[in-house]
Structures are given as structure tokens and as C-alpha cells.
Amino acid sequence: MRRIITFATIFATLLTASPALAFDNTWINTPSLSAVKLVGSNIKVLGTGFNISTQSTGFDFEYTGQALFGGRFAQINIFDVTGGVTLTLAANASGTSSIACDPQVLSSDTHTCFFRLDGNAKAKIHVTVSGASAQAAFKYKVLAGPNIQESAIAQVNFVTPTNTIKAVTSSAKAMLGGAGAVQFKVLQDGKVTPNIRVAVSYKGVGENLSTATAMSNSKGLVTIYLTNLAKKKGTSIVTAQIDGGTAKTTSSIVWVTGKLG
């Protein structure tokens, strides 16, 4: 009788457990690490993992499963978080969905995301990043049920930006008493890269830069303005450097009177 009562107690506990642990025949099966990828600015595939720029403020976990998995449940577990980085997973107000994690799971473990695939067997969960440094890293894996099968493990590292930057023109002319403009282009592996922070400074003639930190636009361009209201003759050297990286370049502004030509 004692054995029967004990078994009944365990069975009842399992049935009332959180979604990640309860018996559920609508889970995906045979979880695959290749079904998940990290999507965002300046993310590189690295074997079975990814490198993320320390400039990152967020990324998406994108899950693409087999068509028969449409509407089923899955789980991503993040662990071995090091280097002081904070990862905040998007949460639903209630229940599960394909765009955010089950809040009941998040309330007890901010590194566990239980979610439901949409009708196309896809999901996209946003993760906000703060405090990233070159010492930061984490791992993740995909879980399936109801018997809790695990995928292989992915390693994610945060790295200093490897973007390059170049001046669109090496020199530009501007009128004394007005403002001059220079442009820079941010690249990654030869391709223009948006949403990359660039630190800007200048030497020589001039008073005010339009900004000390700029962000590359959709074409990878950064446009910087410098005033010379004091009408001083000479040259300004504007330096643009990838914020947190080593790549940098310069462009000069030559201040002139008369007409620009």
C-alpha cells in the first residue's frame, strides 16, 4: 500500500509541474541544435556556436523546425553565463507563444525559455543584452519532451568588434563660418554594416562636432558635421573609430573662403 501511495504522489507532482516538466504529447521530438540560430547585428557563426560583438544590445533566437512540429512546444536553456553579461528573455503576459517565453518558467529561471512554435513550425524570441565584454560568454541547448531529450550544446562568445571603417572621401571643403561634413562607411567582411557604434573626435580648426558617438545607417554610412563659426582658416582632421574595436580612419575638412568648387 505504501508503494502505491508513493507512486501516486510522484505521478500527481509530475502532472502539476511547470510546462517544461509536465507530461505533454505536443512537444517537438529529436531536438536539433541546427534548428536554432542567433540573428542580429554583427553575429558570426563559429562551428556549433556564435560570436557576438560586444556592441550588441540584443539578438533573436530563431527556431525553424520540421513542418510537422507546427504548434508544438520546445524549450531553450541558457547556462554557464560568464563575464558579467545580463541576458533578458522576452516574456508573454500569459501562456506560451512563438515570440516570447512562458512567464511561469521565466519567473523561476531567467535563462529558460519555454515556447510554442507557430503554424509554420517557427519561433523568434528576443534577448536583450547588457554588460557585454570580451570576457562574456554563455551556452545553450534545445530541449524536447515529454521525456526531456537534449540537443548538442552551442557556445556563444562576446568579442570585440571586427568591423573595418573607411572614409568615403579623404578630404572635403567647407566654408568659413559654417559647417563642414565628412562621411565614413562601416564594413564587415567587405559588406556594409548598419547599427554599428562609431566614436568620433577631431583635431585642428573647429568648435563643435555633431556627435561624439554615431551609429551607421542602413547603408553603413556615418555622417559627421563640424562647425567653424569663428571663421578660422586651416584644416580639421576628423577621426572615426569602431567603438570598442581597433579599426579607425580619418577624413579632413579644409576651410575656405569664396565658393566651393
Alpha carbon distance 194, 187 (integer Å): 9
SS3 category, 111: coil
Domains and CATH numbers, the chain: 18-159 (2.60.40), 164-256 (2.60.40.10)
Strands 58-64 and 122-130: antiparallel
State the Cα–Cα distance between residues 63 and 122, nearest whole angstrom. Answer: 5
The model's pLDDT over 62-116, given as tens digits with 9 standing for 90+, comes to: 999 999 999 999 999 999 999 999 999 999 887 789 999 987 665 556 688 999 9
Q: What is the pLDDT of residue 151?
A: 96
Please give the single-letter amino acid code of residue 32.
S
Q: How many whole angstroms separate alpha carbon 152 and alpha carbon 161?
A: 27
pLDDT tens-digit readout, 203-260: 999 999 999 999 999 999 999 999 999 999 999 999 999 999 999 999 999 999 877 7
For 21, the 3-state DSSP assignment is coil
Lowest-confidence region among 84-98, 150-164, 166-180: 84-98
CA separation for the pair 154, 21 (Å, rounded)? 22
Closest C-alpha among 12, 3, 25 to residue 144: 25
State residue 167's pLDDT score: 98
- CB of 216 within 8 A of CB of 164? no
Share the mean pLDDT of the chain: 87
Task: Name the 3-class secondary structure at 67.
Answer: helix
Facing residues of 180 across strands? 226
